[in-house]
Amino acid sequence: MVCVTTLCGSALFSGPLLGSDLRRTPIVEAVKSARPSVVNIKGEKTLGASDPQVLQGDVGRRVNGMGTGVVIDPAGYIITNHHVIDGVREIQVTTADEHEYIAKLVSRDPETDLAVIKIDPTEPLPVVKIGTSRDLMPGESVVAVGNAYGYEHTATRGIISALHRAVQVSDAQYYEDLIQTDASINPGNSGGPLLNIDGEMIGINVAVRAGAQGIGFAIPVDKAVSVAADLLAAHGLQRVWHGVQLEADGPQAGLAPVVGSVADESPAKLAGLESGDVITRIGNLEVERALDFHRAILGLDVGQSTDLLVRRGDETVNLTLTVAKVPGYLKPAVGPYWELLGVELKPTPDDEFRQNYRTRYRGGLSVTAVRPDSPAASHGIREGDVLVGMHIWETISFKNVDYVVDRVRSHSDSASLNPVKFYVLRGSETLYGYLPIPVAMGKTVQR
């Protein structure tokens, strides 16, 4: 009896425990593979009407915001929701290895509620595996990963409940063609990945139906990466020029992008690229979608070259592309305060101002853009603000701003005026700060 027991014990415990293998399900592997590319985002922000979880009475209230992002390039480019970073004074990012960074906003698209931000990591970051949303099936298993309620890297599982949902989350935010899932998507999950069972990102988590159980939504990944590619292309055009216009990603995932057109006398033209070429490699990066091409270009400086592998009909062609300085006619037109202060301003119509703001101010100038690393950006001015005053003067028109800037830059006691106290309307709040005005460049640009 003892012998039998000993033999049985030996048989039971001599090999590896089966439970370990049984527990390592596809869900476990999917979370494990995606987790290193998921980052947590936080920072103080002003609640806006476009925030999917905001209550109407909370618009304009400052809160400690939280959200999630996904690494799409080893150099630190991260995709997230626009509403996650909108109104955030300082975008704080924590990577999966618990390194903390301050992110810069690269570009955003409020209409699709997507944004790209950038950190400068100490070493290359893991990149999420990008799948496709073209072949999704209602009923298939999915996993949502994110910073739910501040609990980092929370994973929840569910299924795809439906496709092509249209959702109105507020007067300011409307979504089309969303993925509906019963995987729990909570505040803080926004901007994180929705994964399939293979660990591929198939969507960007965006919203939950208030008051409903098990109804969450995600932006399809094909749309998300297409928008991200456009945002990176626009950002790249601020630095270098190549002259390639790519067609939209093809009908099947994993197909390299097709060259739609090549600008005359451009670097691409000089390199020998032609309309209809299929770019399959740039440098050491395999190109499977337009996003890959544009993120590779972002790593190049003016005058730098990279190898291209192109499919042209039945032939494979090797080319060398040398990017150039952006021609003046391609640079975006900006107003007189862009170089000086880093803001683009436009007058706010009287009726619009009275309708949107109940305030003692008579009017203001809407901030339509803020240049990263500018005086305006580093001192708290945000896109969407309305500038209503500088020092003791109102700012209803450009002439008002011209007067203040000229006074600061030419007045004998400019030191007592500079930095200039400014006032902005943001939501239901009136905020103020201090904006330094450069004084070494002469007077303001002439109108």
Q: Which residues are catalytic?
A: 83, 113, 190
φ, ψ for residue 378, nearest 5 deg: -80, -10
Output the CA–CA distances (angstroms, integers) from residue 200 to 80, 218, 245, 410, 416, in the order listed: 16, 14, 28, 59, 57
Residue in 306, 382, 293, 435 with CA at minimum distance from that of residue 62:
382
CA distance 322 to 65: 42
Residue in 303, 189, 194 with CA at minimum distance from that of residue 239:
303
The strand ranges marked E within 132-208 are 141-148, 151-168, 174-181, 193-195, 201-208
Residue in 276, 435, 257, 268 with CA at minimum distance from that of residue 345:
435
State the DSSP H helix or E strand holding residue 296, giving kind and residue range, or none if neither: helix 290-297
Longest C-alpha distance within the chain, in Å? 105
Contact between 179 and 218 (Cβ < 8 Å):
yes
